[in-house]
Chains A and B, each alone.
Chain A
Amino acid sequence: MKPDATLISDTKNTWCPGCGNFSIQHAFKNVIEEFEKEGVPREKFVLVSGIGCHAKIVDYFRLNSFYSLHGRTIPVATGIKMANPELKVICFAGDGDLYAEGLDHLIHAAKRNIDITVICHNNRVYGLTTGQYTPTSPYGYRGRSTPEGIHEYPLNIIEMMLGSGATFVARAYSRNIPLLKRIMHDAISHPGFAHIDVLQICATFFNMTSFYDEHVYETSEVNVTQFEMACRTGQQWNYSDPGPIPLGIFYKTIRSSLPEKREQKKVDRIISIQDILTGHS
């Protein structure tokens, strides 16, 4: 693809009018421009997407990208980062994608503290497959696969990420772009696994705009290094019942991460194989 001054590609955009994805795209564009001003060239960024409405975002950016499979952003991103630690690897994933099909990868990525950023477009519904429930849909949600309403409480993503060992845990909202931009910038700069759960409305299947507008608030982030405080803040909202919905960075800490920083030894491959053969003779 031909590079251009603008980061947005000329691919025809097919998101529904009013979709929260536009805000995420807009915020991310600004964040990339900020990084460019700080001296990080745009070719160092690699975007990895899953499958779902969110995933189209990689077609809409003039940036390196790997449009992967449903639920599989994280292993792809992990491989890219381990192959070349200089790259800044960012996963765009959906809630069905990341929290259902690919949940094991998310937990293990947090556990191994791989230095990538995961941005979840959490609209709490499957859009592209037309309105079924996801792991973050509220109790009682009626979709085409659950016409009687679901008898499951949603996953509390913040608690789950804290419990999995994530070193950067945040929640943003697609209608609060300044906060989203700040969190994205911090997450990408964080040396370790960073997870942002972005509450986003689905204009067609699950429009929660007034609910979110009424309940969200920004936390002070004064206790951002304290795990127990983070847990308590995370428990203020269970992704189902009405209640205050804290936004911001919940937790941030530094722990040994992957890829490990190690000296690249010069190795003569042929000699090393010959040595192995001799050693086994």
Chain B
Amino acid sequence: MADISVLIGGKAGDGISQAGQVTGSVFSSLGYHVYQYVDYPSLIRGGHNFCIIRAAEFPITAFRSRFDVIIAFDQQTVDLHSDRLSDNGIIIYDSGRVKAEGQGIPLSQIISMHQGLPVMGNTAMISALLRVLGIPWDLAEPVLRRKMPKSTEKNLDIAHAAWNILTPKQDLVVPGGGPRPFLSGNEWIALGLLAGGLDAYIAYPMTPSSGILHFLASVKEETGIQVYHPESEIAVILMALGFSYAGKKAAVGTSGGGFCLMTEGLSLAGQAEIPIVIVVSQRTGPSTGLPTYTAQSDLLFIRHAGQGEFPRWIAAPATPEEAMFLGAEAFRIAWEFQVPAFILTDKTFSEGLFTGSPDLPDPKPYELKAPVFPYSRYMDQPDGISPLLSPPHPGEIIKINSYTHDFEGITSEDPEITTTMAEKRKRKEQALKEQSDRPINVIISGDERSPVCIIAWGSVRGQVSEFAKKHSIRLVSPLILEPFPVNAFKTALDGVTRIIITEESATGQIDKILMEHGIVPDKLILRYDGRPSAIEELEEQVRREL
């Protein structure tokens, strides 16, 4: 089965991420499943950027530690990464700027010969890559043509010039059947939000969540949504709650620091029972931390944020299909239960690119409770969920309140009402628990009967899933982290005698949740340098624990 890894590196400003994206979509057009990891520091120009593009004949969501091809736009790429070139690997480099052993291309010479623009160097390099991999020109040409909608002929001339310089070193199979949609994790989540009925997306820019804001702003006309970027994350969540009160489905997105500012609004949503969908993409903390690098260290923060006690729902996707499904499902949960619903992701997933299914998710259909008249916003119900109604409604008054309130939404400090309303929230939590504690919310893969188990969540699951079976490991991964699907999870662990947790945090977070439910891990494998693990790196760490 073909499985090829390419590293593209250069200076910030060289368009490395864009070159990677085009390369990835070229592979997708040839019928491959593609995953792309993007690594860049928090600066605009200079510095070293690289991306890893992996193409395989099966679905993938992680990268390998060795590269079959390195494409070097600068010397640093060779110096930093050539030790990870595989045995038959090839370096393709800009011979005008880089000294290396491999196949050199005089980029500036080719570009000036065809009176092209510097950015067309990307075209030359991608063409060179396809040539080296042994893709025939008659397959490469239409794909390149489709990916170069501007100055197509000039780009193709440059591509062909680079093609002619090099010689094939491999004979890569072309699976055919492509292309699949190729989008970032942020974009897959955003599509899920759209599928779930998003009316308005409100956000303040913060890496690594900004991709959702940019993407939704770019499609707001054709999808009929509102997208707004106000003065702060405090304004973001409160505006979104205003939208929800007026009956519109609103979502917000941020990272840990922005979410800190949202916590008073989160608690308001809990007290006032306002539906809200919140995407949090984690990066390395504490505080500003590493803005462009990854972490899974906000799980407990998200789970406990906000003063007082109120139910919430947290889901963590690991694949594009899950991202799309959960993005839509978050709205069902938020509106059916009138709670904050979180999509908890991380930099690796948010800014990684994935080919995924072109099929829309099929979330559970739902109908909101019909309002009862005369209307009371917080009318008591056996399951704690009062029917929603939004203004204007002739003859009815709809009152929302951040204070402890009575059934009509009027402030109350009465101890009995305080107890009644706390219990109303607890009944809602119980109803939400019943939704969450289902086998479908716990993913089991690898060797499903093995007594040795790895527990991983979010993007780390994608790394473990590629070696679990090979080492006879059962991989158990919660899709929903809150309310934790306790019984479904314990069933998934049936017969397990050794539990290893892999997580990108320094102190361990999911183990704390598991221990609340009597599940005690034997070993934690933690990574906290901001980088996601290559499959083989994590595999080696796990192997030592078996």
The verdict on B365 contacting chain A, using a C-beta distance below 8 Å, is no
Contacts A82-B228, A104-B232, A281-B180 given; indicate if A68 touches B246 (C-beta within 8 A): no
Q: For A48, list chain B residues within 8 Å (CB).
A: 242
With A and B bound together, what is the CA distance between A78 and B230 in angstroms?
10
Please tell me if the beta carbons of A76 and B222 are within 8 angstroms of each other in the complex.
no
A1 to B391, CA, bound (A): 13
CB distance from B106 to the nearest CB of A (A): 33
The answer to whether B28 and A41 touch across the interface, beta carbons within 8 angstroms, is no
List the B side residues contacting A16 at CB < 8 Å.
none
Q: Please pick, from A67, A69, A83, A274, the residue contacting B265 in the complex, using a CB distance under 8 A.
A: A69
Inter-chain contact A67/B400, CB cutoff 8 Å: yes
Within 8 A of B (CB), among A56-100: 56, 58-59, 62-69, 72, 74-84, 86-87
- In the bound assembly, the distance between CA atoms of A5 and B485 in angstroms comes to 50
Instruction: Give, as a whole number of angstroms, the nearest-CB distance from A93 to chain B.
Output: 13
Kindly identify which residue among B181, B240, B265 contacts A281, using a CB–CB cutoff of 8 Å: B181
Chain B interface bracket (under 10, 10 to 19, 20 to 34, 35 or more): 35 or more
- For A86, A265, A269, A272, the residue with the greatest tally of chain B CB atoms inside 10 Å of its CB is A269
CA A74 – CA B239 in complex, angstroms?
8
Q: A79-B250, A83-B248 are in contact. Are A43 and B182 (CB under 8 A)?
A: no
How many angstroms from the CA of A197 to the CA of B411 in the assembled complex?
A: 26
A69:B242 contact, CB within 8 angstroms? no
B224-256 CB mask vs A (1 if < 8 Å, else 0) is 101010111011101111111111101000000
Q: Please tell me if the beta carbons of B235 and A75 are within 8 angstroms of each other in the complex.
A: yes
Neighbouring B residues of A46 by C-beta, 8 Å: 245-246, 391
Whether A1 lies near B376 (C-beta < 8 A) is yes
> Chain B residues with Cβ under 8 A from A275's Cβ?
222
A222 close to B (CB within 8 Å): no
Contact A68 B238 (CB under 8 A): yes
Q: Which residues 221-263 in A have Cβ within 8 Å of B in the complex?
A: none
Q: Which residues of A contact B401 (CB under 8 A)?
A: 67
- Chain B contacts with A in 391-429, Cβ cutoff 8 A: 391-403, 405, 408-411
B534 within 8 A of A: no
**Known: A82-B243, A281-B182. Contact between A272 and B222, CB under 8 A?**
yes
Q: State whether A75 touches B219 (Cβ < 8 A).
A: no
Min CB distance B238 to A, Å, is 4
Q: Provide the bound-state CA to CA distance between A1 and B395, in Å.
A: 10
Cβ-based interface call for B343 (8 A):
no
State the 7 A-B residue pairs at the shortest beta-carbon distance, nearest first: A79-B242, A83-B246, A267-B224, A75-B238, A79-B239, A43-B392, A75-B235
- Chain B interface (Cβ < 8 Å from any Cβ of A): 25, 28-29, 178-183, 187, 191, 194-195, 197, 199-200, 202, 219, 221-224, 226, 228, 230-232, 234-236, 238-248, 250, 264-265, 268, 358, 360, 374-376, 390-403, 405, 408-411
